[in-house]
Structure 1
Amino acid sequence: MSGELYLGYSSAFLIGLLGSTHCLGMCGGISASLSMTLPVGRGFRWRQSLLLLAFNGGRIASYVLLATAIALLSTNAAAQWTQLAPLFRTLAGVLLILMGLSMGQWWHGIQKVEKLGAPVWQRLAPVTRRFIPVHRASQALALGALWGWLPCGLVYSTLGWAALQPTVASAATTMLFFGLGTLPAMLATGYAAGAIRQLRGSPWFRKLSGALLIVFGIWTLPLMMLLSTNHNL
């Protein structure tokens, strides 16, 4: 079991890393703006790093909280887990495939899924304005915790993956690793926004990332798991 979970955590990290260009579109702007209100001078880089880490820490904490809530519903009993596993696995695979198609600029059907979270975000968006402009780490942390609820197909796709985990702790850890995968690009946005925007606009990078996400999605589907099991037999 530990080997399977480790593979799941590694995959979640890679999904976050590959989906970073999508994250930049959703959260990169606010991340890049965190340092704009800071006075340039001695200690600027330290204060900038503190705000960026606090914001992204709050964002990742929201992902972990979402995974915990979903896991509490999906892992109540071993019998329920056995019955729901194929459904969650199919959902996770389909969402990852849709996310990959969107990343590669082939089809943007995932946007319809993202609209499901719009009612929640409409209530939270006005609250985020209370913490802007950001001057302290506590403000950045709170802003990040709220921003983590922004409707995002990549997050929803990975939440489907997290729901496949057999325990609440492993589901939460899956989303933690996903969040850590998005962290390098999000931090880089604050330090080198221009270079990151150029990478985000690169067609080959988006298509490569999209194709790899589609591969992850296909691998997640129950049919592929069944074929793998039969092959091992």
Structure 2
Amino acid sequence: MSTDLIPLLLTALALGLLGGGHCIGMCGGLMGAMTLAIPADQRKGWVLWRVLLGYNLGRIASYTLAGALLGGLGWLAQDIGLGRSLRTVAGLMMIAMGLYLANWWAGLTYVERLGKGLWRHIQPLASRMLPITSAPRALVVGALWGWLPCGLVYSTLIWASSQGHAGQSALLMLAFGVGTLPTLLATGVAAERLLALLRLRRVRITAALLVILFGIWTLPGPHKAWLMGHSTGQTHNDQPAPAFDPHQGPEQSDRLH
């Protein structure tokens, strides 16, 4: 694995973790409904966990597939010279996601509406699979529910595709999906405590600000060069002087002075 990919994977993982509150709002109810749809005599122990794991693995598989598909389009966009525009859209989507997480602006809900046309065709298929009585069926339902319109998924997906590589985009969406697991696998008392933590204003605002800062970092522009210059202690005027070569004669000495 390229060392350049590791920070991106950690970022995708963090985005999944930071968006935990949004995940509970979007998918928590679905998880609860599917759990209640399991026959009562099977709603315990390893049987329940097999269903929960199957559902979430299917959901993450859909995120990964979407990453591969959109990553291919991202490669095409970069190939025809639209890479900068794609990164601009990705950064703006991240900023919108941060504002949404902080309840400062709900504009991202308009983006979620873009996926409702596709969802109208998928939802009936998922509904026919209920009640879930086995892990394979949970896997299929999870794969279908993975296409539920979600601003958090959309913003992360556009960011992942802006890398311009189908395989890398798929890996980033896989890492993002893994980051959402702790929230959606929590049940009972653990889920209540986690939800209470994520609803704390300071936690929500901190997560939102981190996502906004990452969105600003994603945007192309001179701010990156400025930040990199400060992180290395150099500026554009701090160029190293050329080394003197005695074999070049006095002309080089004149240039150096």
For residue 108 of structure 1, what is the aligned residue in structure 2?
106
Deviates more, 1:193-202 or 1:17-26: 193-202
Point out where structure 1 has 5 or more consecutive residues left out of the alignment: none
Q: Shift of the alpha carbon at 1:34?
A: 3.6
Give the Å deviation of 1:72: 1.7
Q: Match for 2:59: what amino acid?
A: R
Q: Distance in 2 between matches of 1:190 and 1:74?
A: 41
Kept in 2, the 8 Å contact 1:189–1:196? The answer is: no
- What letter is aligned with 2:194? I
Who is 1:193 aligned against?
191
**SS of equivalent to 1:222:** coil
1:222 counterpart = 2:220: yes
Deviation at 1:229, TM superposition (A): 5.3
Superposed, 1:133-152 pairs within 5 Å as 133-152=131-150
Does the residue aligned with 2:3 lie in a helix, a strand or coil? Answer: helix
Q: 1:73-127, CA deviations, whole angstroms, 9 ceiling, x for partnerless residues? A: 22148733xx222112111111111111111111111111111111111111121
Fraction of identical pairs, as percent: 42
**Distance change >3 Å, CA 84–CA 191, structure 1 → 2:** farther
Give the equivalent residue in structure 1 for 2:40. 39
Question: Structure 1 residues 78, 101: CA separation in 2 closer, same or farther (over 3 Å shift)?
Answer: closer
Q: Count how many residue pairs are aligned between Structure 1 and Structure 2.
A: 230
Could you say which residue in structure 2 is the equivalent of 1:68? 68
| Higher Rg | 2
What is the identity, as a one-letter code, of the residue corresponding to 2:26? M
Residues 120 and 44 (structure 1), Cα distance of their counterparts in 2 relative to 1, 3 Å cut: same
**Matching residue of 1:94:** 92
Deviation of the 1:191 alpha carbon: 7.0
* CA deviation string 1:187-214 (max 9, x = no partner): 0147743333323432222222111111
Whose helix proportion is higher, 1 or 2?
Answer: 1
Q: Counterpart of 1:155 in 2: which secondary structure?
A: helix
The unaligned stretches of length 5 or more in structure 2 are 237-257
Could you tell me how far apart the structure 2 residues matched to 1:28 and 1:117 are? 19
Distance in 2 separating the partners of 1:186 and 1:155 = 14
- Structure 2 distance, partners of 1:106, 1:78, is 32
Higher relative contact order (Cα pairs below 8 Å, separated by 6+ residues): 1
Corresponding position of 1:56: 56
Equivalent runs, 1:162-201 vs 2, <5 Å: 162-189=160-187, 192-201=190-199
Q: CA deviation at 1:66?
A: 0.8
Q: Which one of 118, 125, 130 corresponds to residue 116 of structure 2?
A: 118
The verdict on how the C-alpha distance between 1:12 and 1:153 changes in structure 2, with shifts beyond 3 A counting, is same
**What TM-score, normalized to structure 1?**
0.89
- Cα distance in 2 for partners of 1:208, 1:229 equals 24
Q: Please tell me whether the aligned partners of residues 34 and 48 of structure 1 are also in contact (alpha carbons under 8 angstroms).
A: no
Give the alignment's Cα RMSD to 1 decimal.
2.2
The answer (yes or no) to whether the contact 1:62–1:148 under 8 Å persists in 2 is yes
Using the TM superposition, name which of 150-159 and 160-169 deviates more: 160-169
> Does the 8 A contact of 1:121 with 1:151 survive in 2?
yes
